Structure 1
Amino acid sequence: MLARQRQAIILEEARRTGAVRVSDLVERLGVSDMTIRRDLDVLAGRGLVEKVYGGATTIGDRSTDEPGFEAKSVQQQEHKEAIAARAAELVKPGSAIGLSAGTTTWTFARALAGVADLTVVTNSVRVADVLHESPQPNRTVILTGGVRTPSDALVGPVAVQSLRSLHLDMVFMGVHGMADGPGFTTPNLTEGETDRALVDAARKLVVLADHTKWGTVGISTIADLADASVVVSDDELPADARRTLSEHVGGLMIAEVPARREEGE
């Protein structure tokens, strides 16, 4: 098992239980305690856990917590890949689409490698780089300007102004959290403003969010649940979340995550 995969499992367990013990992880993963401690050092360095004697605990969720791109990139990797593949079914050649910044939309951009004749607007340098690395005939990539956030989004008045004159078929948006009431949220006020401008520029909003986003609330609302034409999530999304989303959004697509089941074998 690669270190990256092992760290993702450790983080998932910490999020599920609130804390992990080195001894338990050694037994579960079949590696030495020094290996586990190094993994915890990496996760702690990325701001994902807090090391304590004998293990680690999760960082308390706050509405303004904003992990960096690298920190988020190790979380729910298989879930994001499954979501990206399912969401790519919605994209037709000749479309003009928008992609918000984030690790889920970055993964989604890679899933668009085989789609030609696209115009893509994004406020993410990383997303733009992915699209440039897999050139297709008649593909145009438009990158907004702006100030870069910890999550590598370009935000602020320059980004907002560049979006106000555009008209897109649909926008694919990653979110920090989603919940009944607050809707789709972000922990960054300025990013929220830019994301709202991106939503306003499109005829349809497609939200890409894995199951861990349900019940998480950031300080700034991007859109209400009812504003989403489609939400694409994974098969670990709780039943209550599925019911609520089905009542509010235009459509709910659930992606199966076969890799998750392989990890438990």
Structure 2
Amino acid sequence: MADQSPSEMPLSDEMLPAQRREHLIEWFENNHAASSQDLARMFGISVSTVRRDLDLLASEGLVKRTHGGAVALRNRSTWEPTTDEARITAAEEKQAIAREALTFVKPGQALLIDTGGVVCHLLADELAKLNIPLTVITNDLYVANALTYRENIALHVPGGALRFGSYSLLGSPGEEFLKDIRCDIFFMSAAAVDETCVSETVLELSQLKRAMVDAARDVILLADSARFMERALHRTVPIERISRIITDDGLTAKSRERFPSPSPAFHIAPMQPQDRA
């Protein structure tokens, strides 16, 4: 029995809690994230049981809770999720953050949209629904596709070499283009954030983001709470370069107090009833 994988051995609500949690821990050792509903379906237990187990594992520092489920804790120095993993990780939080970011968009603005973050893809999907004049510059092919054929949006894609497995165009073409750009807002994503800096796992991505920061009047960081109090390998910019941070309420007030004040200013994205699970 002990040699069976979690997917091969259904759990039950009647199983000893310690046994259930042992198998959940094993699952998270091999997988990045899941919703409570998915875990309940996979293991044949109730959603309420999954939530109680995840709460306890989170209190022991074994996983990090999200509104819809949980994510495995990883060393973010060099590790990053695939795009598919990122789409299901803190999905509700990212959607709420994108909606809150939209409140800072005004007609006639020039916006820089970051590459490499699913939250920026969600923001692009929201921007595509607007009917106001905007100029958008991005090196992300998903963002560009979402905003293509929108008569109200002047879209610029500086270009570069596509990073395999992503939508990111990296390299000197984009960085050179950005030297002469002056935008109103740069909506930025990040692999990791702490009270000193924003950081990335890939050097070329970090270099492009620095050029984007330099090209914008205001820098608004969009990051779910699972990315905080971590540091990736490549330092992008000091935290003082960030004007505002939009995140979810999973980032505690105690953690926020470690950041300099008054800049960056924190905005906690409100969750809608359908977001909570």
TM-score (structure 2 length as normaliser): 0.72
| Shift of residue 155, structure 1, vs aligned partner | 1.0
Aligned residue identity for 2:159 = G
| Shift of residue 209, structure 1, vs aligned partner | 0.6
Aligned residue identity for 1:31 = R
| Residue of structure 1 in register with 2:182 after alignment | 167
Encode CA deviations 1:99-140: one digit per residue, 9 max, x unaligned. 01120111111121214210000010001111126x242x11
| Shift of residue 173, structure 1, vs aligned partner | 0.4
RMSD across aligned positions (CA): 3.0
Contact in 2 for aligned 1:19/1:58 (Cα 8 Å): no
Aligned residue identity for 1:159 = G
SS at match of 2:41: coil
Encode CA deviations 1:125-170: one digit per residue, 9 max, x unaligned. 001111126x242x11111211222442211112211211111111
Aligned residue identity for 1:185 = S
2:91 and 2:24 map into 1 onto residues whose CA distance is: 21
Unaligned runs of 5+ in 2: 1-21, 28-34, 46-62, 64-70
| Residue of structure 2 in register with 1:20 after alignment | 25
Distance 1:30 1:19, change over 3 A: closer
Contact in 1 for aligned 2:76/2:230 (Cα 8 Å): no
**2:165 aligned with 1:154, yes or no?**
no
Unaligned runs of 5+ in 1: 1-16, 36-48, 50-56
Aligned residue identity for 1:177 = A
**2:235 aligned with 1:221, yes or no?**
yes
**2:211 aligned with 1:206, yes or no?**
no
Distance 1:259 1:151, change over 3 A: farther
**2:36 aligned with 1:31, yes or no?**
no
- Structure in which a larger fraction of residues adopt helix: 1
1:203 and 1:18 map into 2 onto residues whose CA distance is: 49
Moved over 3 A (4+): 25-30, 32-35, 57-60, 258-262
When the two structures are aligned, how many residues end up with a matched partner? 223
| Shift of residue 177, structure 1, vs aligned partner | 0.8
Q: Higher Cα Rg: structure 1 or 2? A: 2
| Residue of structure 1 in register with 2:141 after alignment | 125
TM-score (structure 1 length as normaliser): 0.75
| Shift of residue 247, structure 1, vs aligned partner | 2.1
| Shift of residue 28, structure 1, vs aligned partner | 9.2
Identity across the alignment (%): 26
Q: Which of 94, 100, 104 is the aligned partner of 1:80?
A: 94
Aligned residue identity for 2:98 = A
User: Where does 1:86-101 land on structure 2 (aligned, <5 Å)?
Assistant: 86-101=100-115
Contact in 1 for aligned 2:242/2:264 (Cα 8 Å): yes
